[in-house]
Structure 1
Amino acid sequence: TYYLPHTSSGEEVKVVLPEGVLGGMSNHRVVWKVSDGCGNISTCTTYFMVVDSIPPTPYCVNLSTALMENGQVELWACDFDLGAFDNCTEQENLRFTFSDVPPSQDPSYNPNSQCSSMIFTCDDLIASGGSVITLDVYVWDEKDNYDFCSVFLTLVDNQDSCDDIGSKPTAQIGGTILTEEGDHIENVEVFLTSVQPEYPKNKMSDASGHYMFEKNDMYKDYNLIADKQDDPLNGISTLDILLIQKHILGIERLESPYKLIAADVNDDAQVTAVDLLELRKLILGIYEELPQNKSWRLVRESSINNPLAPWNYSEERVILDLDNNMMQEDFIGVKIGDVNASAKANFRDSESELRNSERVELTYDDRHVSAGEIVEVTLSSSALKELYGLQFTLVTNGMDILDIRSENPAISDEHFAILSDNVMTCSWNTDILLEDEALATIVLKAKEDANLNSQFNLNSQVANSEAYIGKDLTTLPIQLTGRNNSEQLFSLYQNNPNPFNGMTTIEFNLPESDNATLSIYDVTGRVIWSTTQAFNKGINAIQLKKDELNATGILYYRLDAGDNSATKKMIILE
């Protein structure tokens, strides 16, 4: 039994389970007691289950083995293990197979060795066109969660057991493409060129970052290069500008040659203020891609001679007189502009979500506006004096954005961009904390009669809405709030993020503490989810998961509280 300390009205209550009671699956009960000032006490009980749904982390090794006299050899999946581990299952209880069929259903699985076996023959050697075979090794925990790694098996026919293999000597060329942090990079296009008529050839790296070119004639010359041009904004934020600026000012140096390459945004073999300007234009949406650089650089690690000035790095591997399998032709992928290693390298990398309950609030004076009126809206934040940077996308509905200006000398036009009549972006950072709370004034023209709070909101359409606070540059989400002196406005805000694929947050303002009902509807008007709760006066928030709604596409959400009601639209991605 664990007791929580008494909390006051409006405080957040957290239940933290001790590590000793956590496991693969465990049931728990929380008894809540609420009391008022008159000594009245009410209780309710919440039950929840902790389930292990995280797959093991595989670590694998490539192997080489010889065929026996009968032209066969038997190998076990665990032979390829280099130290896989799991969050709940002990290492000695992990299981290994060659397929995604659960061990309990795999006829080749041996429960004593906790491994599946596979027999390799001359047929495998012939089918591979040489001697290197690509395999997937699956690692399973006790709850049948699994992940896999791809390995290379080199089969050697030392005893000439296989008579059917042609005499023309060939060799394989392959390797792995990783980030500096060791994340596998998929969908990298690798080109192998040669003067031979069937070249050039190209291969795409798989989810484990592997690529391989088979059956290349030996004793020929080859060139190997790699290329990846995906979303230029992948992993890019104003936080990267802050870190590059700290490097330029000598406050905190970028500690690796790959981060220096990433910081050289305009590809001029140096890191200067020009790189900051170019990167900010990309974040603001002024650039769709960097005009003087690629999205990724694929670097040969051995080509960096000076880690402090790595500008002569090579992205090409020259192979002269190929006389052996070359399966370690690896590349290091560098996402240009991303110096904090936040780029998504493969489809298994989850999107980074800001789950911190603390928020940075951008406020403005809410009021009613009339069609045709020119409106000046000043965005302010009491947290601005603690911020080292922020970025956001602001979208209007029923208002045209005419101009953006700031009276703060540390904030200039280069920190903003008007991308269309109803979309603007902001990317601002500083190395000296501000004294003023005002960020900027937006000049708009109203196209209809409405309250300001229904006319614009923040989203992540171009730049993610986030702020960087304190010396450790903690990243916090930004909330846009309209101030009303009487605090009597009932408001339902746009869910964030929108569209979403995993989780979204719906915020609303109540003029007084009250019971409220939030309902989710599909386009036919059918209620697919609803909740009624008691909420406090002011800003409240409800988090929704996609799995709870069991729907995709356009949905509507409505908030009812007392005599007030409001409806907004949201989109769930496939």
Structure 2
Amino acid sequence: MRKNNIRPLVFLLLLACTTAGWAQPGGWAVKAADYQFSMNMVVQIDLGGNISAAPDNHLAVFFNNQIRGYAVPVQIGGQVYFFLNIYSNTYLNDSLYFLAFIGAEQRIYESTDTVVFLHHQLIGTIADPYILHFQLGTRPLIFSLAEIEYAESNCLPDFVTDVQASDDVDVEGDSLKYDISGGADAAFFAIDSVTGVLTWQNFFPDFENPADADGNNIYLVQVRVRDRSGKTSTQDIAVRITDSPAPTAVCPPALTVHTSDDGPGDCIVVPETDLSVSIPSNCATNQIAYQLEGAMTGQGSGQVPINLAFGIGQTVVHYTVADDAGTRSSTCSFTVEVVDDEPPAIACPANQVVPHMYIAPCSALVTGIDAVSSDNCGGVLLQYELSGATTGAGNGLASGLVFNTGLTTVAYMATDEAGRSSTCSFTVSVSSCNLEFSGNIYWEEDGTSGVGNATVNLTGGSIANAHTDNNGQYLIAIPPTSGNFTLKPIKNINNLNGVTVADATAIQQHVTLINPIVNPFKLIAADVNRDNTISTFDALLIKQSLLGSPAANNIFNVSWRFTPMSWTPETPPWGFPETIDLAGVSSNQSGLDFYGVKIGDVVMTYADPAGFGAETPGLTLQTPEQVLQKDAVLEAEFRADPFQDLNGFQFALRFDMAVLQFEGIEPLGGLPLLLDNFGTYHIDQGEIRTVWVPDKPAQSGEAAAVFRLRFKALESGVRLSEALWLDDSGLAGIAYNSAYAESTVALRFPALSAGAEPGEASMALALENRPNPFVDKTVLRFELPEAGEVQLRVSDARGRLLYSHRAWYPAGWQEEVFDRSGDPGVLFCELLTSCGSLIRKMVRTME
């Protein structure tokens, strides 16, 4: 069964993995470098006539007690093979024998087969492996290695080797006994009779001074093992003493520390990390020395001192470790880098206010503005930068520079040698060479809100003006002069800003003494035509302006009136001062403050979205739904739902001019409305405004017919609710009670029951949106006669669905927010319920 052919490269690759990951019994291992020749075998183990497939067996080949090859099992295709690399220093003729360690039994088996070594011989293949037959001997068998290398040392433990044996009955620790049976150097050894551990006996070998019988540093001893039946086996062990290696120096890893690690304020660090060199596997007394180079220099014996301080930068630490004789040594190195992580400290002076020194240009030489800086490592670069009225930059300090009039910010930056920086800043204000008048205008309502976009005129010794900013501040600067001056603010824009029907009502009820106005500032606000009296004409001006009357707006042409804050209010306020007069002025004047009074804004209203405490709007108007017939004249009669404490209202109706043609308005007496409560100034734009200013609050317990609109239909099949709607863009729909609580005006288009008279319509569907027109968000508000499922849909003029929402709602008023951005244009909101459906036209604008 012996084969002498040479296998291809794949066989050699298999051999490379035969010993990986296995713990060899008896210390089995081969040093291939000690041999010149080799051969190979592919082997399977036969135990009692059966090929063993166990994965935990080990196979070794020996010659004269010397191990020459070792392999662990490799599984291929369900079979277990051993790939043996066998070594020899003789080209041929070594008679080889085999031992197998059977893992399942933890015993050594002997093979009855032998093989003669031949260099480059290959015995067995995977297809035809060489079969080694093994049996368990009755005598104990020592299978540990007989040749041992031992490095001299005077401090290592006295352990030499672990002699291991087994037989067919006994294993180590179970009836096997060990002793020393001979050997030229037996006196130097001792063996544990139970464990077989061979040790030196009161002896430490010295390579330089051999004590063995032959003086060649090979100590010979024979050990014997005896089993329970008295059978014995011996093994001659040769312990070769090798010279002790040089001590190995192992340095710690590179270390980076920061100046702040041991506290701020200095430029050195005492590392907390152990900087000692270590010498693994060597307990001898060694010579240690260190040397420093780089940021730190120096040298010394022993370890680096634990309190050694390192400076900024990188220091290389070199260690040299030598044996006692100084003949063998090794070195290692590592770095200690100290990083400055502490930015410099810097402090700026306080803000400076400096009078001007020069006129052309207006400026001042400024001193005493030095920053103070320091750094833990020194070497600070100080820089400055000027911004604002004066600009510039430079190194060093800014003291002694000339600053322009106005406010300059001085920013200092301190940078240390590590590139870390800190900054501070302050301002230098150089007074103007001009003569300045400054102050604030506050809204009288709260005394803190500024009145923006007002023009403050200066007359007298010079003429100039300035506008207030959003905070109400103003500053007028004129060339240096002196004399008498007068300041007078004006603001005549947005006359209806903050003005509603509530203000007209308050004025009207003041005139009729129902609710007199006593606040002096509100009396000024109520004098719309500025004739130092309050009359029904002032209320009329507001009403007509809200209705869109150009004539009323021409009279209501002053938006604000102003009075110095130094004025002590009195009642009546007529003759109140509207200017600040200054005499003999030659220096800057500040604190010239005014109160601003918004003309027409008499009452401070507040929102009551719940509708005067109820679940409905403050005023709900109803007009029956109609389907238009082209060329037919239709009448839309508007009735107000029952109301309590109605103290004025305003709203605007808009109709689709492509569908309806306006014919007329008729008051119906349900409320004391006259034709002059309606504004048709923008009828050419499809707008009708209504403003009601009562002498006293009104109430009604039943639906009241308020007014009637007449239109001519220009198309057929269109619902009235699709062509007529409330429009908040020109005039917000608002109703007030006697406390001037603000609520909405609502419009519904109920369907008439069969045979019902107008005004007898039962509660029906209602749909509206506020605001309308809108930019990107509007509230869809609808009323249900009964609970049920509702679908809301919003489409554009081309029929594209933009929004759909389906939910269950209780009866009554409900709200949903339509929040979708998109192109401006006409949209249609559709309300679908089990009670019917409604469509509402909406307009989305750009702004």
TM-score by length of 2: 0.44
Note if 1:455 corresponds to 2:726. no
SS in 2 for 1:361: strand
Note if 1:405 corresponds to 2:666. yes
Correspondence for 1:186 among 452, 455, 459: 452
SS in 1 for 2:508: helix
CA contact (8 A) 2:767 2:780 kept: yes
* CA 1:499–1:384: 2 relative to 1, 3 Å: same
1:571 equivalent in structure 2 = 844
CA contact (8 A) 1:303 1:314 kept: no
* CA 1:303–1:400: 2 relative to 1, 3 Å: farther
Q: For 2:400 and 2:637, how far apart are their aligned partners in 1? A: 75
Deviation digits for residues 401-442 of structure 1, max 9, x if unmatched? Answer: 322222327221221122215321111132052557222122
Deviation digits for residues 229-266 of structure 1, max 9, x if unmatched? Answer: 22221111110111112221223222322211111112
Paired residues, what number? 422
TM-score by length of 1: 0.64
CA contact (8 A) 1:401 1:418 kept: no
Which amino acid in structure 2 is aligned with residue 451 of structure 1?
Answer: R
TM-superposed deviation, 1:66: 4.9
TM-superposed deviation, 1:479: 0.8
* CA 1:154–1:406: 2 relative to 1, 3 Å: farther
1:217 equivalent in structure 2 = 480
TM-superposed deviation, 1:271: 0.3
Structure 1 unaligned segments of length 5 or more: list them. Answer: 1-62, 75-118, 136-152, 158-164, 343-351
TM-superposed deviation, 1:481: 0.4
Structure 2 unaligned segments of length 5 or more: list them. Answer: 1-349, 356-365, 372-396, 410-425, 754-760
Matches within 5 A, 1:66-81: 66=353, 70-72=367-369
**Taking every aligned residue pair, what percent have the same amino acid on both sides?**
22
Note if 1:295 corresponds to 2:558. yes
TM-superposed deviation, 1:446: 1.9
Q: For 2:500 and 2:720, how far apart are their aligned partners in 1? A: 28
Which amino acid in structure 1 is aligned with residue 744 of structure 2?
Answer: P
Q: For 1:177 and 1:225, how far apart are their aligned partners in 2? A: 11
Q: For 1:121 and 1:478, how far apart are their aligned partners in 2? A: 68
TM-superposed deviation, 1:302: 5.6
TM-superposed deviation, 1:456: 0.7
Deviation digits for residues 182-237 of structure 1, max 9, x if unmatched? Answer: 221111122233555xxx43322111111112354242333322221222211111
Note if 1:358 corresponds to 2:611. no
Higher RCO (CA < 8 A, seq sep 6+): 1
Which amino acid in structure 1 is aligned with residue 575 of structure 2?
Answer: N
1:379 equivalent in structure 2 = 638
Q: For 2:480 and 2:556, how far apart are their aligned partners in 1? A: 35
Q: For 1:134 and 1:242, how far apart are their aligned partners in 2? A: 53
1:127 equivalent in structure 2 = 405
* CA 1:406–1:559: 2 relative to 1, 3 Å: closer
1:389 equivalent in structure 2 = 648
1:559 equivalent in structure 2 = 830
Q: For 1:277 and 1:542, how far apart are their aligned partners in 2? A: 38
CA contact (8 A) 1:393 1:426 kept: yes
Matches within 5 A, 1:305-344: 307-341=570-604
Q: For 1:219 and 1:294, how far apart are their aligned partners in 2? A: 35
SS in 1 for 2:483: coil
Q: Which has the higher helix share?
A: 1
1:32 equivalent in structure 2 = none
CA contact (8 A) 1:236 1:337 kept: yes
Correspondence for 2:692 among 424, 428, 434: 428
SS in 2 for 1:394: strand
Q: For 1:501 and 1:354, how far apart are their aligned partners in 2? A: 24
CA contact (8 A) 2:749 2:765 kept: no
1:477 equivalent in structure 2 = 744
Which amino acid in structure 1 is aligned with residue 844 of structure 2?
Answer: I
Q: For 1:447 and 1:124, how far apart are their aligned partners in 2? A: 79
TM-superposed deviation, 1:491: 6.8
Correspondence for 1:250 among 513, 518, 528: 513
Q: For 2:401 and 2:551, how far apart are their aligned partners in 1? A: 50
CA contact (8 A) 1:231 1:295 kept: no
Correspondence for 2:769 among 487, 495, 498: 495
Q: For 1:387 and 1:281, how far apart are their aligned partners in 2? A: 20
TM-superposed deviation, 1:317: 2.7
SS in 2 for 1:217: coil
TM-superposed deviation, 1:384: 4.0
SS in 1 for 2:367: coil
Matches within 5 A, 1:35-74: 66=353, 70-72=367-369
SS in 1 for 2:506: helix
Q: For 1:528 and 1:120, how far apart are their aligned partners in 2? A: 64
1:414 equivalent in structure 2 = 676
TM-superposed deviation, 1:177: 1.1
Which amino acid in structure 2 is aligned with residue 127 of structure 1?
Answer: T
CA contact (8 A) 2:451 2:596 kept: yes
Q: For 1:561 and 1:191, how far apart are their aligned partners in 2? A: 61
* CA 1:464–1:233: 2 relative to 1, 3 Å: same
SS in 2 for 1:239: helix
TM-superposed deviation, 1:465: 0.6
Deviation digits for residues 50-106 of structure 1, max 9, x if unmatched? Answer: xxxxxxxxxxxxx997569834499xxxxxxxxxxxxxxxxxxxxxxxxxxxxxxxx
2:67 equivalent in structure 1 = none
Which amino acid in structure 2 is aligned with residue 453 of structure 1?
Answer: S
SS in 2 for 1:321: strand
CA contact (8 A) 2:526 2:534 kept: yes
TM-superposed deviation, 1:283: 0.9
TM-superposed deviation, 1:554: 3.4
SS in 2 for 1:395: strand
Q: For 2:633 and 2:585, how far apart are their aligned partners in 1? A: 72
CA contact (8 A) 1:392 1:425 kept: yes
